[in-house]
Structure 1
Amino acid sequence: MIRVFHYLELERKLLTSGGIGVATQNQRKAMTLAGITAVGKGEAHDVVHLCTVGPKSFAYAKLAKHKGTPLVMSTHTTAEDFKGSFAMSDTAAPSLRKYLKTFYSMADVLIAPTQYTADLIRSYGLTNRIEVVSNGIDMSLFTGLKQRREDYRKKYGLEGTVVYSVGHVFLKKGLETFVNVARTSDVPFVWFGRVYNGAHSAKTDDVLKSAPPNVRFTGWVEDAIACHAAGDVFLFPTHNENQGIVLLEAAACGRAAVVRDIPVFNGWKSCIRADDDQTFAKQVAALVKDASKRSRRGAAMKREVRAHSLESVGKKLAAIYESLV
């Protein structure tokens, strides 16, 4: 049995918040299903798999190269995805890109969650082997959705058809579009996710302050799946993603989704796409008005997300590890 040192820097913090944490948990579950043992620091291992790009991860990468241990890296972080997040992120992005090229170049295999990310990483000038493996979705977590819907709608005082988004409140996630579309509607628009007061840009503050009365930002939420259960139309106008785990979650809950027409979503057939605020508003309004259309689209999303099962992810990871030992 192959033993993999599966390392997530800042694990205590990241494992319980954001896409990287969910992706790491999904990989570990998938590895178990495939008969691969994930081990911690100091334990004997055959392969090193790094999930983040921080200084400790860099040190483990150098150590693996020194020892001749096969090295795998997940490419959750890109300079492009970093832009539009925290204050000064756009300024720092070019330097991050240079660092990532150096960091990722040490890997024997890079794992990208989508073909889009694989192509993006390749554009950095990297010549490593790159494999596409979805971050996956743990369908076993999507139970009791009716009760979770009732609980969260009661908790946040939600009634009627709710347009919603889930995730960190950043400009890059399409915050401006979300607010602008809400102005064209009289139904509730709810963004479930943390607002980084004091750490985001002045423009983010301006957009938040300008939001109409039907928009609500909940702040941090404990149960992301319950957020999807509570909502009805998933509005995801993000400008850049490496995959977008929240879209997988929305699909697993059977929610109709309106997404920005960007390359990372090219593999999806059941999403509704839009490329400007006017089109977003039109598509959202159509779903709000037509419950039957929401149901059909949501069912198609749920069928499509099955391709991202942990069983499928585990088989692909096992094949990669086995090819290196």
Structure 2
Amino acid sequence: MKILLYFESQKLLEKSGIGRAFTHQKKALESVHVAYTDQQSENNYDILHINTYGLNSYRMIRQAKQKNKKIIYHAHSTAEDFRNSFIGSNLLAPLYKKHLIKLYSAADQLITPTPYSKKIIENYGIQTPIKVLSNGVSLEKFQACKTKEQKFREYFSLTPEQKVVISVGLYFERKGILDFVKVAEAFPEYTFIWFGYTPLYSVPTKVRKVVQGDHPDNVIFPGYIKGDILEGAYTNADLFFFPSYEETEGIVVLEALASHQHMLLRAIPVYNEWLTDKENCYMGATNEAFVSLIKKIMAKELPDLRESGYQTAVEKSIPEIGKRLKAIYEEVLER
């Protein structure tokens, strides 16, 4: 069994959640010794496993069908999570939905990361069978490391006693970036850092203005940072605060869980069935609720849920995802 993993526009999308999911797929297949290639010119494969939504992705599907290859589409995206992202995304969302339906309907099998995203896609009327499989997380990458944590604090010139709240995501209103800044106004004594980047010409004016400087002095937008500094931030910060309005899973949430980090999330349906308020994370629905919860978490007035959160990440570790992904491949080939 050999898999052709296809990812269109890798350089453009490598900083996104889909980019990280693609990396996780490779690691998952390596963990269970399934042969794969990411070279689109490869002809010797059994399954085309496709991750992207461009015109070339559809061309790859047509070619695979001509060769009688099986096709698995990784349904990372929905019209719902396309909205409130780029300029014009809300106007384009209905067309994007039609495009997704065309692509997803051409596959033999869909994989989507949560029961929530599966339900959305089923409601599109797509008949392709759908399996739920988390994008997974690399547990060893997010274990506490003094060297990484020191690099993080030195990079931002943080004093040892400075309290830090972090988030990770693109510069999308959907991600809750405006709420992150608004909540930060209530805590001038804490440093709020939003890791991530999107070209500012592509986002609405209100988001662009906030990132460019219309924010409190205690908010930092360092752009896209990976490696030791980000991993040190995940384990060394005092809180991971992710007020996103819509996700298909949220890989950054998995990364924060794997980091034994305190978690504050917006209460949205995607977390149903795998995250529970007051059990493995804390959730709020309004900025007022977020402010109240941050005060209590920082003051250690609430139970520490980090270990239960970590156990949630363990269930979605890369080797576990590899086992399930291999089983899906075998099932598709047997049809």
| Counterpart for residue 44 of structure 1 | 44
Q: Which residue of 1 aligns with 2:6?
A: 7
> Equivalent of 2:246, from 223, 226, 240?
240
Taking only the aligned residue pairs, the percentage that are identical comes to 32
Alignment-mate amino acid for residue 268 of structure 1? L
1:191 pairs, out of 190, 194, 200, with 194
- In the alignment, which residue of structure 1 is the partner of 2:62? 62
- Whether 1:163 aligns to 2:170 is no
Cα shift at 1:154: 1.0
Deviation of the 1:254 alpha carbon: 0.6
The farther-off stretch of 136-145 and 147-156 is 136-145
Deviation, 1:195, is 4.6
Q: Is the 8 A contact 1:166 1:227 kept in 2?
A: no
Instruction: Give the aligned residue type for 1:45.
Output: Y
Alignment pair present for 1:101 and 2:101:
yes
Query: 1:255 maps to which residue?
Result: 261
Q: In the alignment, is the contact (CA less than 8 A) between 2:142 and 2:259 conserved in 1? A: yes
Match of 2:78 in 1: 78
* 1:261/1:273 contact within 8 Å kept: yes
User: Does the CA contact (< 8 Å) of 1:162 and 1:190 recur in 2?
Assistant: yes
**Runs of 4+ displaced beyond 6 Å:** none
CA offset digits 1:145-199 (Å, max 9, x no partner): 2221111111112232111101212111101211111111121111112153222
Residue in structure 1 matched with residue 329 of structure 2 by the alignment: 321
Q: Would the alpha carbon gap of residues 196 and 289 (structure 1) be closer, same or farther in structure 2, given more than 3 Å must change?
A: farther
Name 2:220's counterpart in structure 1: 216
CA drift at 1:86 = 1.3
Which one of the candidate residues 305, 308, 313 is aligned to 2:316? Answer: 308
Gaps in structure 1 of 5+ consecutive residues: none
**Contact 1:248 / 1:305 at 8 angstroms: preserved in 2?**
yes
Q: CA deviation at 1:226?
A: 2.8
Task: Report the CA distance shift for 1:262/1:143 in structure 2 as closer, same or farther (over 3 A).
Answer: closer
Deviation (angstroms), 1:315: 1.3
CA RMSD of aligned residues (A): 1.6
Q: Secondary structure at the match of 1:190?
A: strand
In 2, the alpha carbon distance for the partners of 1:195 and 1:67 equals 38
> Partners of 2:177 and 2:13 in 1: how far apart?
23
CA contact 1:259–1:272 (8 Å) conserved in 2: yes
Distance 1:143 1:230 in 2: 10
Distance 1:115 1:276, change over 3 A: same
Whichever residue aligns with residue 38 of structure 1, its letter is: Y
Distance 2:128 2:198 in 1: 37
- 1:36 and 1:300 mapped to 2: Cα distance? 31
Residue 239 of structure 1, CA deviation: 0.6
Q: Distance in 1 between matches of 2:198 and 2:323?
A: 37
Q: Which one is further off, 195-204 or 265-274?
A: 195-204
Q: 1:123: which partner in 2?
A: 123
Unpaired runs of 5+ in structure 2? none
Match of 1:272 among 262, 266, 282: 282
CA spacing shift, 1:217–1:12, aligned 2, 3 Å: closer
